[in-house]
Structure 1
Amino acid sequence: MITRYERMIASRYLLPGRGEGFIFLVASISLIAVALGVAALIAVMSVMNGFRAELFDRILGLNGHAVIQGYGGQLADWAPLSTEVRKLPGVTKATPLIEQPLMASFDGRVQGILLRGMTIPDLMATKVITSNVKHGTLAGLVPGSNTVAIGARLAEALGAQVGDSISVISPDGQVTPFGAVPRIIAYRIVAIFEVGIYDYDKAFVVMPMANAQTLLRMGDSVGMIEVVTNDPDKVDAILAPIKGRVARSGVIASWRDTNASLFEALVVEKTVMFWVLSIIILVAVFNILSSLIMLVRAKTRDIAILRTMGATRIALMRIFMTVGTLIGGLGILLGLALGFSLLAWRADIVAGVSAVTGAQLWDPSVRFLTELPSKTDPAQVVGIVVLTLLMSFLATLFPAWKAASTDPVTVLRYE
C-alpha cells in the first residue's frame, strides 16, 4: 500500500514545478490521448454491437431462425409438416409463408418487390411489422379484399400512399397463341411500415395468405415454413430430427446459411477495429512513458534528497508508478464521459457532420439500417478500462525503476 507521504509527493509531481511546463504539457497530451482512445473504443464497439444486434433482431424477426423451403417453391403437405415441427423440443413457432419476387407498378413507375403472403394471425404476431406501421392500419388486410401493406422505401420509390392502388405483376399468367401474358392485379394500400432495414423496406409487399395463393395460382400450397426456436445458435440441432422427413418435399436453411457471410464480416470488422483503435491507447501510453522519464530526470536532485532522508527504493517506485497510473486513470474517466456523450448524441453528430460536409455519412442503402444503432456491452467497457489501466501501469515500471536506482551520493557529491 502507498503511504500518506508517498501520496503527497505523487500529487505534487502531477503539477508542474518551476521550469517543468514542457513535462506537464507532455503529460497533459498523454491524458488527452488516453481519453480519446478510450472514447473511440467505447463508441465504436457499442456501434458495432448495436449494428449486429439490430440486424440480427430485424432479419430474424422477419425470416425466423430457419425456413423449410419446398422444392419448386411449393410445399403441398405443409399442414402436417408444420404440426410436426411445432412438436419439436426448442421450437416456439412454425409459420407458413409465401415469398415470391415479382414486379409492382404505380403511376408509370415500376419496382421489383418481394411478395409475402401470411395468415392474418401470424401477421399480427410479427412484432417487427406491427410495431413499425407508419401510415394506415393492418386491420384493413382482409382475405379476398385485394389489400396490401408495403414498405416505406417502396412507397417512396413508387410515389404511392395509403389508399392508392398498385398493380402487382406476376409472370405466371395465361398462355395464349401469342405467348404467356403476365398476370396483373390491382391491390389497394392499407398500411405502410418501416422495419428499419433498407432492403426490406424497399421490397416488401405483405398480403393475406389466401390472396397470395390466388395471385400465384398455388391452390392450398405454401412456399415455406418459417421456424423460430428458443436458441438461434442451436437451430441445426433442434431441427435435426425432421431432416429426413423434410428431405422428401424440401430443404432446411438456417439463418447461418442465408446470412453467414454478413455476420462473419461484422465479427471480423469488429475485431480489426478494436485492435486498430487500441493503437491510440498504445501511443498515449508511450507518451506517459516519455513524460515520466523526463520527470525522473527533472527530479533527480529531489529523489536523491528523499533517499538521504530515508525513502526506500520501493517507496520511490510506488511514487512514480502512482503518478503514471493516475494520468492513465484520469484519462480513462475523461474517455468514459466523452465516449458515452458521443453515443448519446450520435444521431445529431452524424447529421451535423453530414450538413457541414454535404456528404451522407449514413446511407441506408449501403448500411442496411436506417439509423445509426448503439448497444453498450458492460463487459467490453470493463475490459477496455482494465486494458488501459494495465498498459498505463506497465508504462510506469521503467521510469520508476530508474528513479529507484538513483545514487544519492553521485547526485549530491558537488551540492
Structure 2
Amino acid sequence: MPSLNKYIPFEAWIAYRYIKFKQKNSFISFISTTSMVGIALGVSALIIIMSVMNGFQDELRTRILGVASHIEITSSNNTLAHWEDLTKKLQGVSDVKGSAPYIDGQGMLVSEYGSQGIMLRGISPELESNVDDLEKKVKVGHLSDLKAGTFNIILGIDAAKQLGIVVGDKVNILIPQGSYTPAGTFPRMRQFNVEGIFEIGMYEYDSGMALMNLEDAQKFLQMHDTVSGVRVKIDDLFLAPAVAQRLSNKLSESGLFYISDWTKKHSNFFSAVKMEKRVMFIILTLIIAVAAFNIVSTLVMAVTDKRSDIAILRTYGAKPKSILYIFIIQGSLIGIIGTVAGAFFGIAISLNIQAIVPFIEHLFNVQFLSKDIYYISEVPSKLLLTDVIAITSISILLTILATIYPSIKASSTSPAEALKHD
C-alpha cells in the first residue's frame, strides 16, 4: 500500500510533523496550545452571542407584532369614521392578508388590592384573528367572551397577579374623560367583569393592557361610531414599508389618513438591537484576533528553535518558498483546528441553549433575565448559517495573516549562519 506521504506536498507533511510531535521547547508547545484554545473560545463565543442576538431580535419582533400590527391606518385626530368602508377597500390590495379595527385608550385599573395604570384596547373578537394570534395568547377564557354590552375584559397575567385579580372578579376602570355633575367634573368610572387572562410573554403588555369589546370601548370612551384606527396584516412583514406606501397612494383620494408601519413605530428599538449586534461582533472578533496573533509569537519561537532544521532543508535543495509554505501551513493548521473546534462547540451550544440556560438557572437558583426588567424572560437562540460562515472565514483569515511575518523570516534564514550557531 503506497504511503500517504507520496500524495501530499512535503511542506504540508513537515508542517504536520511540527504540530504532531512534541516540541523540544515545551514553552512553544504551550503557546501553540494556548493560541488554539483561544481561537476556539473566541469563535464559539462569537457564534453563541450572534445566535442569541438573532434569537432576541426575532423573538421580540414576533411578540411585539403579536400585539402591535404590521401597518396601522389612523387619522390626524386619532378618530376614524366609516372604518367598514376602509376595510373593504383594503381587501383588493395585494400583499394584504387581513384588517381589523381597534380603539386605544388610557385608564386606571382599581381593585381592592390596589390600582395601576392600564392601556385599554378595544377589539372586534370576530375580526381580531385577521391581524394577529391574540386568541392563542389567552390562557384562561376566549376572545369570544368579549361580547358587546357585557362590559367584559381580559387582563394581562402580570396585571392580574399584581392586583390579586382572578377570572370572575369585578374591577373598576377610571378614565380621564370627565363626567359633568352639579358638584363638578369627575373622572368617568365603570365596573367591568374579568372574563379571561392573556400572556403575551412581554412584561410591557402582560402588566399594562386590558382587552375589551370594540362597542363597549366606544361607549366607555365616548367615541360614538368611530375607532382609533385599522390594523393591517400583510404576507411578508419586511415588505411593510412598500405596502404602506402603496396604501398611502391608494387611500389619498379617499381622505386624509396617517399610515405607519412597524419599522417606523419601533425603528429606534430595532436599530438599537442591530447596533448592539454589530458592536458585539466587533468586540468578539478582536478576541479572536488576539488569539490568532499569538500564533506570531509561536511561529517566531518555532523558527528560532528550528534554525538547524531549516538550514538542513536548504542544503538538501529546499527553496525559500518551500520554507515559507511550511510555517504558513503550520500556523494555519493551528488556526483551522481552533476554528473548527470553536465552531463545533458554538453550534452545539447555540442549538441547545434553550435547554442549557434553564438547567443552569435551576442548578444555581438564579434567573438571568428578570421578566419585570427585560422584555423577555427566556434566552432565545437563532443560528444562521451566514453567521457561522462569516465568523469561521474571518478567524481563518486572521490566522493566515498572523503567519506571514514569521514565515518570511524563516524563508530568509541563511543555512551557513544557522549552522554556524549550532
Structure 2 length as normaliser, TM-score? Answer: 0.89
Which of 109, 114, 126 aligns to 2:114? It is: 109
Deviation at 1:134, TM superposition (A): 2.8
Q: How many pairs does the alignment contain?
A: 413
1:18-167 to structure 2, matched below 5 A, reads 19-125=24-130, 127-167=132-172
Match of 1:335 in 2: 342
Match of 1:391 in 2: 398
CA distance in 2, matches of 1:350, 1:324: 39
Moved over 6 A (4+): none
Match of 1:284 in 2: 291
Deviation at 1:158, TM superposition (A): 1.5
User: Does the aligned pair in 1 maintain the 2:44–2:345 contact within 8 Å?
Assistant: yes
Q: Given the superposition, is the C-alpha separation of residues 401 and 47 from structure 1 closer, same or farther in structure 2, using an over 3 Å criterion?
A: same
CA distance in 2, matches of 1:197, 1:380: 27
Which of 196, 199, 209 aligns to 1:194? It is: 199
Deviation at 1:57, TM superposition (A): 2.1
| Equivalent position SS for 1:75 | coil
Q: Given the superposition, is the C-alpha separation of residues 73 and 169 from structure 1 closer, same or farther in structure 2, using an over 3 Å criterion?
A: same
User: Does the aligned pair in 2 maintain the 1:66–1:227 contact within 8 Å?
Assistant: yes
Match of 1:345 in 2: 353
Deviation at 1:300, TM superposition (A): 1.0
CA distance in 1, matches of 2:303, 2:400: 16
Q: Is structure 2 residue 187 aligned with structure 1 residue 182?
A: yes
CA distance in 2, matches of 1:59, 1:298: 61
CA distance in 2, matches of 1:277, 1:166: 51
| Equivalent position SS for 2:194 | strand
Which shifted more, 239-248 or 221-230? 239-248
Which shifted more, 286-295 or 177-186? 177-186
Deviation at 1:311, TM superposition (A): 2.5
| Equivalent position SS for 1:41 | helix
CA distance in 2, matches of 1:24, 1:81: 74
Which of 225, 232, 245 aligns to 1:237? It is: 245
Match of 2:3 in 1: none
1:205-220 to structure 2, matched below 5 A, reads 205-220=210-225
User: Does the aligned pair in 2 maintain the 1:10–1:323 contact within 8 Å?
Assistant: yes
CA distance in 2, matches of 1:92, 1:111: 36
CA distance in 2, matches of 1:348, 1:134: 27
1:233-382 to structure 2, matched below 5 A, reads 233-242=241-250, 244-245=252-253, 248=256, 250-343=257-350, 344-345=352-353, 348-349=356-357, 352=360, 361-382=368-389
> Gaps (5+ residues) in structure 1?
none
| Equivalent position SS for 2:72 | strand
CA distance in 1, matches of 2:206, 2:168: 18
Deviation at 1:296, TM superposition (A): 1.1
CA distance in 2, matches of 1:321, 1:162: 71
CA distance in 2, matches of 1:134, 1:111: 22
CA distance in 2, matches of 1:282, 1:295: 20
What do the CA deviations read for 1:341-386 (whole angstroms, capped 9, x no partner)? 443235644774798596x531333331232222122111101111
Q: Name the Cα RMSD after superposition.
A: 2.5
Deviation at 1:245, TM superposition (A): 4.1
Which shifted more, 1-10 or 38-47? 1-10
User: Does the aligned pair in 1 maintain the 2:35–2:295 contact within 8 Å?
Assistant: yes
Structure 1 length as normaliser, TM-score? Answer: 0.91
CA distance in 2, matches of 1:123, 1:244: 25
CA distance in 1, matches of 2:247, 2:233: 11
CA distance in 2, matches of 1:52, 1:280: 24
What do the CA deviations read for 1:266-312 (whole angstroms, capped 9, x no partner)? 12211111111111011011101110111111111111112222323
CA distance in 1, matches of 2:418, 2:199: 74
Q: Given the superposition, is the C-alpha separation of residues 243 and 289 from structure 1 closer, same or farther in structure 2, using an over 3 Å criterion?
A: farther
Q: Given the superposition, is the C-alpha separation of residues 280 and 353 from structure 1 closer, same or farther in structure 2, using an over 3 Å criterion?
A: farther
Deviation at 1:334, TM superposition (A): 2.0
Deviation at 1:326, TM superposition (A): 1.3
Identity %: 34
Q: Given the superposition, is the C-alpha separation of residues 85 and 61 from structure 1 closer, same or farther in structure 2, using an over 3 Å criterion?
A: same
CA distance in 2, matches of 1:162, 1:357: 31
Q: Given the superposition, is the C-alpha separation of residues 143 and 330 from structure 1 closer, same or farther in structure 2, using an over 3 Å criterion?
A: same
CA distance in 2, matches of 1:214, 1:107: 25
Q: Is structure 2 residue 14 aligned with structure 1 residue 9?
A: yes
User: Does the aligned pair in 1 maintain the 2:145–2:195 contact within 8 Å?
Assistant: yes
User: Does the aligned pair in 1 maintain the 2:72–2:231 contact within 8 Å?
Assistant: yes
CA distance in 2, matches of 1:366, 1:83: 42
Q: Given the superposition, is the C-alpha separation of residues 201 and 2 from structure 1 closer, same or farther in structure 2, using an over 3 Å criterion?
A: farther
User: Does the aligned pair in 2 maintain the 1:129–1:194 contact within 8 Å?
Assistant: no
